[in-house]
Amino acid sequence: MDNRPIGVYDSGFGGLSVWRELYRALPDESLIYLGDGKNCPYGSLPEERIRELAVQSVEELLKHDCKLIVVACNTATAAAINHLRERFAELPIVGLEPAVKPACLKSKRKRVAVVATERSLESEKLRLALERYGEGVEVIKAVGRGFVEAVEADAEQSAETLEKVRAVIEPLLESEVDVIVLGCTHYPFLKRAIRQVVGERDVMIIDSGEAVSKRVESLLEHYGIKAAEENEPRYEFLSFADAEYCERLRRKAFDE
Ligand code: DGL
């Protein structure tokens, strides 16, 4: 048994979509969320800069005695996970990857879209996943332009955001994809707008949140570091931005 917290890290608000899954699935676990906020968005930063920020963030979470880290950011995972695992060799670290495997398996038309940041779409990780699972499947990649900014501004419901979502999603629908993979942890916050654009069409929208929480659960088991059932979990929200940003993180985490 180990009542130390799990650390969850993202460039900003996006990782809260993963945080919510962990909160639901692992009710005994304390969670410390670090949303950088100061350097967000990461999507078009050079890889080396993202690596530096990821190291800084994990170090910050370790000051809070975290027993396991979830890099709840596809972009930071693509740029930095190998580096983090080398540098913090003793620490269990879980990364985020686009749900390419289930998408390719579930697509009846064998046409799948992956929507993510520029950095993630260019990544070696995605290339390998597509090579492994994408045989016989046409995969269309699209950058969710303006999506991260909309979520950071709490503007998920605005008419302007809906237009941004439409501009990205409509061409994918015209290409007749039947599965859309959300390959950035900010994007699940835009699911409602995406569904609105999809309308009645038979299109599945999938993200990696649940798979990640299952992976965390199995690692806690594997290392024997689950929290005790009588543990009273605590939830903290940290950021490299200001106190108001931390407060907004907390609000968004518990917002329904
Ligand atoms: N939430 C992030 C991701 O999953 C990063 C988005 C960004 O900062 O550009 O890719």
Are 11 and 77 in a shared domain?
yes
Cα(185) to ligand 1 centroid in Å equals 6
Cα(74) to ligand 1 centroid in Å equals 6
Query: Burial code of 114-152, b = ≥16 C-beta within 10 A, e = fewer?
Result: bbbbbbbbebebbeebbeebbeebebebbbbebbbbbbb
Phi–psi pair at 3, nearest 5 degrees: -90, 5
Are 119 and 178 in a shared domain?
yes
Are 88 and 118 in a shared domain?
no
Looking at residue 229, its amino acid is E
Residues annotated as catalytic are 73, 184
DSSP secondary structure, 92-105, as one string: -EE-----HHHHHH
How is the beta sheet containing 111-116 ordered, strand by strand?
A: 138-143, 111-116, 179-182, 204-206
Contact between 117 and 143 under an 8 Å Cβ cutoff? The reply is yes
Cα(236) to ligand 1 centroid in Å equals 21
Nearest CA to ligand 1 atom 9: 43
Are 40 and 105 in a shared domain?
no
Q: Which of 206, 223, 242 is the last residue of a domain?
A: 206
Distance (Å, whole) CA 187 – CA 17? 9
**Residue 174 half-sphere exposure, CB side, CA atoms within 13 Å?**
6
Are 108 and 233 in a shared domain?
no
Ligand 1 lined by 117 (C-beta under 6 Å): yes
Ligand 1 lined by 42 (C-beta under 6 Å): yes
Distance (Å, whole) CA 174 – CA 165? 14
CATH number of the CATH domain containing 149: 3.40.50.1860
Are 139 and 196 in a shared domain?
yes
Ligand 1 lined by 184 (C-beta under 6 Å): yes
Distance (Å, whole) CA 37 – CA 214? 27
Closest by CA to 36, choosing from 20, 1, 60, 64, is 60
Q: Let me know if residue 17 belongs to a domain.
A: yes
Are 174 and 80 in a shared domain?
no
Ligand 1 lined by 30 (C-beta under 6 Å): no
Ligand 1 lined by 77 (C-beta under 6 Å): no
Are 142 and 51 in a shared domain?
no
Q: Domains in the chain: how many in total? A: 2
Question: Both tokens of residue 197?
Answer: 């654009």
Are 198 and 104 in a shared domain?
yes
Q: Which of 189, 206, 223 is the last residue of a domain?
A: 206
Distance (Å, whole) CA 113 – CA 18? 21
Q: Let me know if residue 1 belongs to a domain.
A: no
Are 17 and 138 in a shared domain?
no
Are 213 and 247 in a shared domain?
yes
Are 213 and 148 in a shared domain?
no
Query: What pLDDT score does 153 carry?
Result: 97
Query: What pLDDT score does 128 carry?
Result: 93
> Which residue range forms the structural domain that includes residue 236?
6-96+209-254
Tell me the pLDDT of the chain (256 aa) as tens digits. Answer: 999 999 999 999 999 999 999 999 999 999 999 999 999 999 889 999 999 999 999 999 999 999 999 999 999 999 999 999 999 999 999 999 899 999 999 999 999 999 999 999 999 989 999 999 999 999 999 999 999 999 999 999 999 999 999 999 999 999 999 999 999 999 999 999 999 999 999 999 999 999 999 999 999 999 999 999 999 999 999 999 999 999 999 999 998 6
